[in-house]
Structure 1
Amino acid sequence: MKVSLQTFGTRGDVYPFVALGAGLRARGHDVDLATSVDFKAMVEEAGLNFREIPGSGAHYFATPAVVKAIRKSPSSIRTAMAMPRPSVDEVADSLERMYDNAQGADFMLSNLITRGIGYAGPGVPWGTVSWWPMTPTREFRAYKTPDLPLGSAYTRLTHGMAAQMEWAFNRPAVNRFRTRRGLPKLSKSPVGQLGHQQPVFYPYSPHFLPPPSDWPERVHVTGYWSWERPEQQHQADLVDFLAAGSKPIVLALGSAWPVYGEQTLDLVRQAVRQARRRLIVVGGPEGDRPDDELRVQEVDYGWLFPQVAAVIHGATFGTTADVLRSGVPQVTVPCWADGPYWAARLAQVGVAPAPIPFQKLTGAQLRAALDEVVTDPGYAERAAELGARVRADRGVEKACDLIETWVSNTTA
């Protein structure tokens, strides 16, 4: 079987696809992974065939206007308006590249940013991945829609609103692509077909967020997709630092570091010192470090997180997955996108205190939250229990099973 995986964005958008691709390859399948050249080395390390999608998602937060917008508000719409946007023709050109990448595949899988090629007509059976629930349900409202006390009818309506917004974003380039290929334009949104005509994969744990009872059968909550990377040599100073004292705190803000900035690092330092802990900073600003602090540019979270006392992070999908799997408590400082969504859920299940929105962050809040997670053993107990369940999900294996079954059924 040949599978085309197409994803774009930051590391958190690419890593799960690499994990899935590695799982499919281990079963003997031929796997192409199309993404930006920023992640070519990671794709090839996993033994997958790299295919390029033009552009760069890794440097999304390097744009001053985007940083300014997020610092003002976590609104995805506000951020999208501040982001430099390619023209309709440029997006259609990217769809052309994605179309070419998919040809000859038995199945294609996209993410939010690359989903337009599915709507455009990839010429092969396809499905999609979402980092948060997008399938209509009466049990909870759509992602980032107003919380109004209007009952289940309104709750389900919010999903229609969200679908129309997604289609409005994709429609110009999709129809430009279709016109180039002599296909009729789509006037009606195809988003409603997802989960009915095409499978939808949610690579998070059902133990963390159970699927609603009214979702269609082609919607799958698989468990997180984690890549068991080959044994790596970890930097010696990090290994020594971990062994030199009590378990430290990790600050991991990923690609959003330009938004958080040095002021956030200073507040975290003060909170960690008050808690009488040491600090490991992943990424972040350059500069001298005191003896009780270590900076690492990049590290395998799956190896590091189980060895620490707690992780402070922005609650985006990828880091949330890694911390949940590690079974350690968390402090969340969400700044944008899905961060507020998953941060609220982490607090709800009791593995983190109430989120501290970055836009309202104070040192007092951060100190209180960190003191809470390192002194209340309930957080560590709940995190360890949930972590064991999350690790038992077999997310990659389940997704591989589903894809193999889907392809078998569509080619029978």
Structure 2
Amino acid sequence: MLMSTYGSRGDVEPLAGLAAQLRELGAEVRVCAPPDEDFERRLAEVGVALVPVGMSARELTKSAPLPSTLPERAAQVIASQFESVTAAAEGCDVLAATDMMPAAAGALSVAEKLGIHSVSVTFQQLTLPSPYRRPLEYAGRPFPLEVTDNRRLWELDAEINNELFGAALNTNRAAAGLPPVDDVRDYVIGSRPWLATDPVLDPWQQAPGFTDFDVVQTGAWVVPDANPLPPDLVAFLEAGAPPVYVGFGSMPMLAATDVAQVALATIRAHGHRVIMARGWADLDVLDDQDDCFVVGEVNQQALFPQMAAVVHHGGAGTTTTATRSGAPQVVVPQSADQPYWAGRIADLGIGVDHGGPVPTAESLSAALATALNPETRARAEAVAGQIRSDGTELAAKLLVDACD
């Protein structure tokens, strides 16, 4: 079985979870992903080798391509999918394509060319048309302010996807002997897309008469992390009251040093210690006091339940892990689907949607006051008990059954 993605840690981590479960069922698994060392290391932990595709996701994120170069970057991603996925798919029965639209379109085209059963998977529902919400906007391609009807906005979304990715996709398809695709988004979604999110955290609402596809919501794909916390981190945790975690994952963040210092001072003002995760923003506190501990890669599944609160960027994976832990959250969304997850956390009453991407002392203090309220903690613990734990098992069984 082959799984293909092109994105950040939050896009690779679910595939590690699914790969581990598939291996337990006796399947051979390959994962195509960007050639980042932390991705390779994470997949190796579950016994799966990474097949490199394209350039480093971390370097791509830090380079922040201009809107005008998006079609060119997308063309490179599509071409790399045709090249790498074609080679990796030899002997495979099933291909699962995830993440960004051009990458998924390329991988699904390879499956079509090779006659392999394929599944289109999304780790958030914002790419699935629905009259109940707006589509995401691409950088440099804002929707007209006067258009407020969601149905019309989804029509515009389809047009923009075709403008950005259609030419490059069809060029590669023609070279592979495939017919052109008229609608890139509809091609990627297909008739039965999978939504790998928890139905409590991310409920899908079918819209008869608007959508002509049936969503299979498997639950989130999570692999239990057996990595122990470092001894010095354990000692820090045991030395005092539960701290507040701050980390922004794969987000580079401008003014990261200022954000770190603001977070440190604000959390201290609330009487709590701090655990700061460096992440791709290279956060650091530049402080020698003993009430702050800086971590790199760490087992969040083991760490988050011990936190007074978790301050994070709102990626799908981090949001799911924090919700499962029962810790209150402050979500500081940076881009893409992160405002959606921040809204879901607020709607569920298990944390705060900070709103803007750069916290100030005042805004973060107000958010923490709510998150650290005992009522928020009680609600977060109650919701944690409702989050499904069988999403990976269900998805693995469905893929194995597709081979029969």
Q: TM-score, normalised by structure 2?
A: 0.87
Q: Who is 1:254 aligned against?
A: 249
Q: State the shift of 1:83 in Å.
A: 6.8
Q: 1:85/1:261 Cα in 2 relative to 1: closer, same or farther (>3 Å)?
A: farther
Matches within 5 A, 1:228-247: 228-229=224-225, 231-247=226-242
Q: State the shift of 1:195 in Å.
A: 5.2
Q: State the shift of 1:396 in Å.
A: 0.4
Matched, 1:342 2:335: no
Residue type at the aligned position of 1:306: P
Describe the SS at the equivalent of 1:291: coil
Post-superposition CA distance 1:27-79 (Å, at most 9, x none): 1111111112212222122112321212110233432xx3xxxxxxxxxxx96
1:6–1:34 CA contact under 8 A, matched in 2: yes
Separation in 2 of the partners of 1:8 and 1:89?
Answer: 12
Q: 1:296/1:128 Cα in 2 relative to 1: closer, same or farther (>3 Å)?
A: same
Q: 1:167/1:131 Cα in 2 relative to 1: closer, same or farther (>3 Å)?
A: farther
CA RMSD of aligned residues (A): 2.6
Matches within 5 A, 1:170-319: 170-186=165-181, 188-193=182-187, 196-197=190-191, 199-214=192-207, 218-229=214-225, 231-283=226-278, 284-286=282-284, 287-319=286-318
Matches within 5 A, 1:21-100: 21-38=19-36, 39-63=39-63, 66=64, 80-81=67-68, 85-86=72-73, 88=75, 91-100=78-87
Residue type at the aligned position of 1:45: E
2:75–2:165 CA contact under 8 A, matched in 1: no
Aligned structure 1 segments of 4 or more residues deviating by more than 4 angstroms: 78-85, 144-151, 193-196
1:120–1:175 CA contact under 8 A, matched in 2: no
Q: Who is 1:354 aligned against?
A: 353
| Equivalent residue in structure 2 for 1:17, among 15, 24, 41 | 15
Q: 1:371/1:35 Cα in 2 relative to 1: closer, same or farther (>3 Å)?
A: same
1:16–1:227 CA contact under 8 A, matched in 2: yes
| Equivalent residue in structure 2 for 1:120, among 105, 109, 125 | 109
Q: Who is 2:370 aligned against?
A: 372
Separation in 2 of the partners of 1:89 and 1:291?
Answer: 47
Unaligned runs of 5+ in 1: 67-77
1:195–1:219 CA contact under 8 A, matched in 2: no
| Equivalent residue in structure 2 for 1:138, among 112, 131, 137 | 131
Separation in 2 of the partners of 1:212 and 1:254?
Answer: 29
| Equivalent residue in structure 2 for 1:101, among 69, 88, 98 | 88
Post-superposition CA distance 1:87-126 (Å, at most 9, x none): 8467424422222222321111111332122453422111
| Equivalent residue in structure 1 for 2:390, among 394, 398, 403 | 394
Q: 1:81/1:347 Cα in 2 relative to 1: closer, same or farther (>3 Å)?
A: farther
Q: 1:352/1:31 Cα in 2 relative to 1: closer, same or farther (>3 Å)?
A: same
Identity %: 26
Greater mean deviation of Cα atoms: 135-144 or 264-273:
135-144
Q: 1:18/1:333 Cα in 2 relative to 1: closer, same or farther (>3 Å)?
A: same
1:132–1:143 CA contact under 8 A, matched in 2: no
Separation in 1 of the partners of 2:76 and 2:265?
Answer: 49
2:194–2:215 CA contact under 8 A, matched in 1: yes
Q: State the shift of 1:136 in Å.
A: 2.5
Separation in 2 of the partners of 1:348 and 1:271?
Answer: 25
Separation in 1 of the partners of 2:335 and 2:147?
Answer: 26
Separation in 1 of the partners of 2:261 and 2:18?
Answer: 37
Unaligned runs of 5+ in 2: none
Describe the SS at the equivalent of 2:251: helix
Q: How many residues align?
A: 385
Separation in 2 of the partners of 1:148 and 1:348?
Answer: 26
